[in-house]
Amino acid sequence: MTIRIVTDSTADLPPDVIEKLGITVVPLYVRFGDEVYRDRVDICEDEFYDRLQRDTVHPGTTQPTPEDFVTVYRELSKEADGIVSIHISSKLSGTYSSAIQAREMVGDTCRIEVIDSLWTSMGLGLLAMDAAAAALDGKAMQQIADEARMMIPRITYLGMFDTLKYLHLGGRIGKAKCLLGSALNVKPLLTLKDGELHAVGRARTRSKGMERLFEFVRDAGDVQDVVVVHSTTPGDAQALVERFVPFIPRDRIIVARLGPVLGVHTGPGAMFVIVR
């Protein structure tokens, strides 16, 4: 039995991981005025972050349409017995809703399980990776879906933002509104809980924020995997990796980059650590 795994571009999966595990990624859209780009298809990370900082128009984002998913599902159904489709938190995006609508439009031509991950970035990415590895191991579709759902509460996350400006402009600030009005040099610290952003504190400087990220991972206990995700600071990401290596095997640490869609809301300088 062949089971295929679908996720969306907010998973921030590195290209080599996507290829190795055979994951299908449905892109969200970034919009600069009247110009619309598919996330990581029509616009790459470097191009996006450069434009984000110099363009006078703040970009917006849009979820894939149900028709986008229908196209993917129908193509995969030609070779697959079932599809497990795992997506960004429904509280942050309409992507999950589009996938549900597409499943109904496809009908009985292929079994499709759609999962609301309650995560985004590599929190979602880890779920997709696990599901794809399970599919390659020949596990049954229901087992893959059940294991993905059981993994959701085992993931934890801490993010450092250079500013809340982009979350505020993008309308995704959620329950972190309490941090608005902080001094400009303060670095907000946020987490995801039940699919929504929550403020957990602030660091007075970037170096102190980096220390909080390190301590979050160090104090996490029995760590299986760690992901360091950055928007525009690969040097900072690598510095964190080197600090983790003494107590976490290097092959259990993944470095990823925030793509254009999430970059609309995080801005440059953002850094996340994700642990399970």
Q: Domain coordinates of the chain in residue numbers? A: 3-27+65-152, 155-275
What's the rounded Cα separation, in Å, for the pair 226 and 55?
Answer: 34
The predicted model gives 85-112 an average pLDDT of 97
What's the rounded Cα separation, in Å, for the pair 50 and 35?
Answer: 16
**Are the CB atoms for 145 and 109 separated by under 8 Å?**
no
Q: What is the token pair recorded at 137? A: 């191991």
Q: Does domain 155-275 have CATH number 3.30.1180.10?
A: yes
Per-residue model confidence as pLDDT tens digits over 111-140: 999 999 999 999 999 999 999 999 999 999
* pLDDT number for residue 130: 98
Per-residue model confidence as pLDDT tens digits over 37-51: 999 999 999 999 999
Residue for token pair 């403020």: 199
* pLDDT number for residue 189: 95
Packed helices 234-244 and 206-218: angle between N→C axes, nearest 10 degrees: 40
Q: Any idea which of 87-101, 155-169, 216-230 has the lowest mean pLDDT? A: 155-169
Beta bridge partners of 60: 31
Please, what's the b/e burial string for 254-276 (b: 16 or more CB within 10 A of its CB; e: otherwise)? bbbbbbbbbbbbbbbbbbbbbbb
The predicted model gives 56-68 an average pLDDT of 96
Compute the mean pLDDT over every residue in the chain, rounded to the nearest whole number.
Answer: 93
Q: Say yes or no to pLDDT of 248 above 70.
A: yes
What's the rounded Cα separation, in Å, for the pair 245 and 242?
Answer: 5
What's the rounded Cα separation, in Å, for the pair 37 and 29?
Answer: 6
pLDDT band for position 1 (cuts 50, 70, 90)? confident
* pLDDT number for residue 219: 96
Q: Which CATH architecture has domain 3-27+65-152?
A: 3-Layer(aba) Sandwich (3.40)
pLDDT band for position 73 (cuts 50, 70, 90)? very high
**Are the CB atoms for 265 and 165 separated by under 8 Å?**
no
